[in-house]
């Protein structure tokens, strides 16, 4: 992450929002529902318009030495009533490696939410149309048919809304493999931790319980 770019972008926001937005650094790119609602009030914005306003901040986290093209993405965790937390992500490219090795902004934001305990997403906003790889990645998500996918370029007021079926027609996914669970589904795996308990091994066991491997059924 380019901290200078992030701070420069942060300076573009109203002064009374800076303390809240600065917490993104300490909260792993996450804003709690209370913080989101406070920002909406301070900036007089709807949920979607706030995500749009925060997209440049997400994109400023990009590391793109190959393409020199910054992409930001934001997802909102699903809550049956009211505002959910939001999670920021950006594209990450590794110099000296093929571009196919990059982590895309949509993947970064979704993985950020997943690793912080989310099991379903309400919406995703990104500043460019998702590539084919990201469309397949999102097709694996729990309750993806209920998730809004919003594309809003940084230099445009226009916004487009998609469903996964419109972005990826005739898709192949977990249903074709008779899989009942999807990426971000609450884990159904049961693994016994070794005795005596070991903190590192327990952490590895917990991570393995959340593994998603429908194509191989191998847990790492």
Domains of the chain: 3-185 (3.40.140.10), 187-220 (no CATH)
Known active-site residue 48? no
Q: Which two tokens stand for residue 180?
A: 């009942």
Q: What is the pLDDT of residue 192?
A: 62
pLDDT tens per residue across span 7-62: 999 999 999 999 999 999 999 999 999 999 999 999 999 999 999 999 999 999 99
Sign for the pseudo-dihedral over CA of 130, 112, 77, 74 = negative
- Residue of 76, 93, 106, 140 with catalytic role: 106
Backbone torsions φ then ψ of 132, nearest 5 degrees: -60, -40
- Parallel/antiparallel/unpaired status of strands 30-31 and 72-77: unpaired
Q: Which two tokens stand for residue 45?
A: 């914005």
User: For tokens 């429908």, what's the residue?
Assistant: 214
- Parallel/antiparallel/unpaired status of strands 160-162 and 121-126: unpaired
Does pTM top 0.95 for this prediction? Answer: no
User: For tokens 């016994």, what's the residue?
Assistant: 192
CA proximity to 148, closest of 136, 134, 128, 162: 162
Q: Are 145 and 173 in contact (CB under 8 A)?
A: no
* H helical segments located in the chain: 3-10, 18-26, 33-43, 47-59, 105-115, 132-139, 164-167, 199-209
pLDDT tens per residue across span 53-94: 999 999 999 999 999 999 999 999 999 999 999 999 999 999
Q: Are 125 and 73 in contact (CB under 8 A)?
A: yes
């Amino acid at each position: 992450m380019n901290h200078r770019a992030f701070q420069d972008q942060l300076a573009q926001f109203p002064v009374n929002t800076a303390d809240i937005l600065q917490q993104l650094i300490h909260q792993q790119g996450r804003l709690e529902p209370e913080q989101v609602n406070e920002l909406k009030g301070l900036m007089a914005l709807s949920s979607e318009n706030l995500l749009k306003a925060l997209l440049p901040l997400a994109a400023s986290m990009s590391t793109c030495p190959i393409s020199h093209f910054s992409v930001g993405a934001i997802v909102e965790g699903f809550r049956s009533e009211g505002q959910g937390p939001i999670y920021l992500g950006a594209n990450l490219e590794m110099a000296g490696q093929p571009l196919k090795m990059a982590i895309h902004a949509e993947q970064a934001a979704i993985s950020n939410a997943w690793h912080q305990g989310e099991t379903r997403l309400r919406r995703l906003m990104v500043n460019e149309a998702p590539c084919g790889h990201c469309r397949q990645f999102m097709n694996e998500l729990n309750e993806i048919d209920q998730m809004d996918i919003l594309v809003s370029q940084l230099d445009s007021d226009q916004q487009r809304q998609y469903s996964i079926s419109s972005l990826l027609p005739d898709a192949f996914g977990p249903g074709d493999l008779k899989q009942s669970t999807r990426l971000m589904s609450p884990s159904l795996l049961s693994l016994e931790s070794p005795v005596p308990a070991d903190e590192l091994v327990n952490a590895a066991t917990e991570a393995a319980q959340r593994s998603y491997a429908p194509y191989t059924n191998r847990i790492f």
